[in-house]
Structure 1
Amino acid sequence: MPASRIVLIRAVNVGGTKLPMVRLRQIATELGADDVSTYIASGNLLCTPPGDPTEFDRALEQAISAEFGYFREVISRTPDEIAAALAAFAFGDAAHGHLYFLTGTPNAAAADEFCARDFGNGERLAVIGRDLHIDYRNGAGATKLTPKLIERALGVTGTGRNLRTSSTLVERART
């Protein structure tokens, strides 16, 4: 059966913050999710959560925090929502395109001001709904655009995935 949610966990398995995908699948199952699977070891969970998806996301945050001793935001979308974000990607088929899934919809004026800024590496930015579209034209490795900077400017945090990973997550969730 296809998964009804794509659950994205911010900043795991980087910089010493470990979250084994086997354990993530177990935690999701313990919380009542069905159709549980993961994709690559960067906090991508596909599942059908029990009841309200937002409540599941918060419970998953709490379970990860309790077991591993760190807090990471959990952001989920339906496969259709991520497919729509991909279809609406503001910069076409950018070689270094990313979708940064936000925890909420930022203030329009703050989003406009943020997207007009020059971060020094040729980045192009657009906020569409709850998603920040980023084209790292010169690659993501040299950017000064950090999660903290995004959070300060937009008033919400999030987690990013490149377009290829986002597309693969939609395909996997639908099969």
Structure 2
Amino acid sequence: MPDKVAYLLRAVNVGGNKVPMAELRTLASDLGATDVATYVNSGNLVCVPPGDPVTFGSALEAGIADRMGVTTDAIPRTAAELRAARKAFPYEVHEEKFCYVWFLAGKPTAKAVKAVEAYDFGEDQITAIGQDLHIRYADGAGRSPVTAPRLLKLCGVPGTGRNLRTVEKLAAMAE
């Protein structure tokens, strides 16, 4: 049986980028995915893709743009990759909702990693491990200087963040 994959959509259901989860499930099924499920309303899809996970992610991005008018990135991760990211979290977990993994669409260059890790994010902590950024927010993501546009500028690679609770839930769904 093929493996399930979690697709983490960047910046959906915020700022007018409406992607209803029922429509996302229908789209994934229409594209040939099986065992399709979503988790919460922030763009988390888990399914068995019909072939290569990256190729399916690209088809999903195109379908979302065509059907819903939203441009996004669909970043694939297997259950094993989600578990490894959670296990690699390098900071003390004071509250799961303040501890995130920022999943990148590709591995940043060594120069980009240095730029991210050297940037002054105040009390927030950030470490790059592989193609993920691990973030410990001092007081939550809402007022943090760690923002998606800043991370994109520093990394040069699009990504999307999920708190540790969501990472664990998606890993369980993908197993």
Q: Which TM bucket (shorter chain)?
A: over 0.9
1:53 to 1:8, Cα distance in 2 relative to 1, 3 A: same
Normalized against structure 1, the TM-score is what? 0.94
Question: Hey, which bits of structure 1, 4+ residues long, moved more than 6 A?
Answer: none
Contact 1:2 1:35 (8 Å CA) reproduced: no
Deviation of 1:116 (Å): 2.0
SS at match of 2:157: coil
Task: Please name the residue that 1:76 is paired with.
Answer: 76
For the aligned residues, what is the CA RMSD?
1.4
Matching of residues 74-153 of structure 1 within 5 Å: 74-95=74-95, 96-120=98-122, 122-153=123-154
State the partner residue of 2:41.
Answer: 41
SS of 2:54 mapped into structure 1: helix
Name the amino acid aligned to 2:17. Answer: T
Structure 1 CA distance, aligned partners of 2:117 and 2:73?
Answer: 23
- The aligned amino acid for 2:41 is A
Q: Secondary structure at the match of 1:140?
A: coil
- Percent identity, please: 46
For the pair 1:158 / 2:159, whether they are aligned, the reply is yes
**Per the alignment, do residues 56 and 2 of structure 1 end up closer, same or farther by CA in structure 2, a change over 3 Å counting?**
closer
Q: Is 1:12 the counterpart of 2:12 in the alignment?
A: yes
Offset of residue 113 of structure 1: 2.5
| Structure 1 runs not aligned, ≥5 long | none
SS class of match (1:142): coil
Structure 2 CA distance for aligned equivalents of residues 94 and 125 of structure 1:
15
Distance apart, 1:68 and its partner CA: 1.5
Aligned position for 1:65: 65
**Larger CA deviation: 80-89 vs 165-174:** 165-174
Over residues 45-75 of structure 1, what are the superposed CA-to-partner deviations in whole Å (9 max), with x where a residue is unaligned? 0100011111100000000001112210110
Shift of 1:94: 3.8
What TM-score, normalized by structure 2, do the two folds share? Answer: 0.94
Q: Kindly indicate whether residue 139 of structure 2 is the aligned counterpart of residue 167 of structure 1.
A: no
The 3-state SS of whatever aligns with 1:98 is strand
The amino acid that maps onto 1:81 is E
Q: Is the 8 A contact 1:94 1:137 kept in 2?
A: no
- In structure 2, how many angstroms separate the alpha carbons of the residues matched to 1:151 and 1:130? 13
Aligned length in residues: 173
